[in-house]
């Protein structure tokens, strides 16, 4: 039997404070009706001033460790998918390592925007399949609301803060991560990105005035490529495993907005029962959406042993990818 990466624990953390569409109406030129009909989002959670991305990630990680019955010292590899880390460097994963006491792990971040969790899952899975490690913590964590321009109504209504995590263990089994499929296309980078501060726009007063440290997006263009890519990579993933959409028990897509999800699910021929959606409560939390949704579904008893799950993500870069998991 093959050595596979098996998910043996899930965890998530969502900050307490809720910002509803009605709250947004008070300081943004928008309406609850516009946001709901265009995005499906009703509210999002916002990190407290003294909460950092590594705090959200650590809480999600601890919950996953507790479910798995694994101590932090047993973790060999710790990866955080994030584009809103505590600081540009060092890696937020190193700060999480310190906070949870995973002193035997090596730790790094993966920057793949909303695909960050699937990219991180792929990296850890390959280490496990190669026999290099026994246990890994894979986390998606973001505080995107600190990097959006609250004067830009095109983007500020979409995002929220959260973290989700899984513990992976090497097992000789038919279950676990069956395959991962990743893609990137840098020619689209300016459609969805944070222009500064980096080497193109190093820190400056001018840059601040021009809003370069904030997320910039051309929503219409992103929409079209997102639907196509989510569909294509889901089909690629099923075909690689000689399976069809009917075999899927739970499809967990990146929760960008309801229209992208509905369009991708419809094209794939997925039923409502097969698709997990929570974007109305949490908004788009980038790399955190899939592991948070997975943890919610798991704790709600929606996943049984032997179920077939697919994660399907798309984000800035552009990056996209899918993973097929036998529970
Ligand atoms: N409130 C009210 N009006 C608004 C708002 C708002 N928050 N935002 C934009 N509008 C206005 C625009 O100004 C425009 O008005 P105009 O016609 O007078 O110029 C009008 O609404 C229509 O704007 P569009 O951009 O064409 O609106 P669209 O229907 O495309 O919806 C949206 C915008 C929701 C961003 C959509 O393009 C989308 O879902 N894009 C996908 C992008 C996405 O989800 N990105 C997340 C990150 S990527 C990812 O996670 C996959």
Domain that holds residue 99: 3-174
Asked if the model's pLDDT at residue 257 lies above 90, the reply is yes
Q: Does residue 148 share a domain with residue 293? A: no
pLDDT tens digits, residue range 22-77? 999 999 999 999 999 999 999 999 999 999 999 999 999 999 999 999 999 999 99
Verify whether ligand 1 is closer than 6 Å to residue 290 (CB atom). Answer: no
C-alpha span between 150 and 104 (Å, rounded): 41
CATH number of the CATH domain containing 36:
3.40.47.10
Judging by DSSP bridges, how do beta strands 319-326 and 176-184 pair with one another?
A: antiparallel
Catalytic: 241? Answer: no
Last residue of a domain, one of 159, 174, 189: 174
Last residue of a domain, one of 128, 147, 174: 174
Three-state secondary-structure class, residue 70: coil
Query: Into how many domains does the chain fold?
Result: 2
Judging by DSSP bridges, how do beta strands 17-20 and 43-46 pair with one another?
A: antiparallel
Judging by DSSP bridges, how do beta strands 77-81 and 135-143 pair with one another?
A: parallel
Last residue of a domain, one of 155, 174, 193: 174
**Ligand 1 mean position, distance from CA 36 (Å):** 11
Asked if the model's pLDDT at residue 1 lies above 90, the reply is no
Q: Does residue 184 share a domain with residue 141? A: no
Pocket test for ligand 1, best of 154, 188, 230, 255 (most atoms within 8 A of CB): 154
CA 205 to chain centre: 32
> What pLDDT score was predicted for residue 77?
99
> What pLDDT score was predicted for residue 212?
95
In this structure, what DSSP letter does residue 78 have? Answer: E
Q: Does residue 186 share a domain with residue 159? A: no
Burial zone of 319 (CB within 10 Å; 0-12 exposed, 13-18 middle, 19+ buried): buried
Q: Does residue 310 share a domain with residue 204? A: yes
Q: Does residue 75 share a domain with residue 102? A: yes
pTM of this prediction? 0.97
Q: Does residue 145 share a domain with residue 235? A: no
Give the model's confidence band at 92: pLDDT under 50 very low, under 70 low, under 90 confident, else very high. very high
């Amino acid at each position: 039997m093959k050595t596979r990466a098996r998910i043996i624990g899930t965890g998530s953390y969502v900050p307490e404070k809720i910002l509803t569409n009605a709250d947004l109406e008070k300081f943004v030129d928008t309406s609850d009706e516009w946001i709901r009909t265009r995005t499906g989002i009703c509210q999002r959670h916002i990190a407290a001033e003294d909460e950092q991305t590594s705090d959200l990630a650590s809480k999600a990680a601890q919950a996953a460790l507790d479910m798995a019955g694994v101590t932090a010292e047993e973790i060999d590899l710790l990866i955080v998918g994030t584009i809103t880390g505590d600081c540009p460097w060092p890696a937020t994963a190193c700060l999480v390592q310190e906070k949870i006491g995973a002193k035997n792990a090596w730790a790094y971040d993966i920057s793949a925007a909303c695909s960050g969790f699937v990219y991180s899952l792929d990296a850890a899975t390959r280490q496990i399949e190669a026999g290099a490690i026994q246990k890994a913590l894979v986390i998606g964590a973001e505080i995107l609301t600190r990097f959006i321009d609250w004067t830009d109504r095109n983007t500020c209504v979409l995002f929220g803060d959260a973290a989700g995590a899984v513990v992976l263990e090497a097992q000789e089994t038919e279950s676990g991560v069956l395959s991962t499929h990743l893609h990137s296309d840098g020619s689209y980078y300016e459609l969805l990105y944070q222009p500064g501060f980096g080497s193109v726009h190093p820190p400056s007063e001018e840059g601040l005035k021009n809003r370069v440290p904030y997320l910039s997006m051309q929503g219409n263009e992103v929409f079209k490529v997102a639907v196509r890519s989510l569909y294509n990579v889901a089909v690629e993933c099923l075909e690689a495993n000689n399976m069809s959409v009917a075999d899927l028990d739970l499809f967990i897509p990146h929760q960008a907005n309801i229209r992208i999800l509905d369009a991708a699910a419809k094209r794939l021929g997925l039923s409502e029962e097969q698709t997990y959606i929570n974007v109305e409560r949490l908004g788009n939390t980038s790399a955190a959406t899939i592991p948070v949704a997975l943890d919610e579904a798991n704790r709600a008893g929606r996943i049984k042993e032997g179920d077939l799950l697919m994660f399907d993500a798309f984000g800035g870069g552009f990056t996209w990818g899918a993973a097929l998991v036998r529970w």
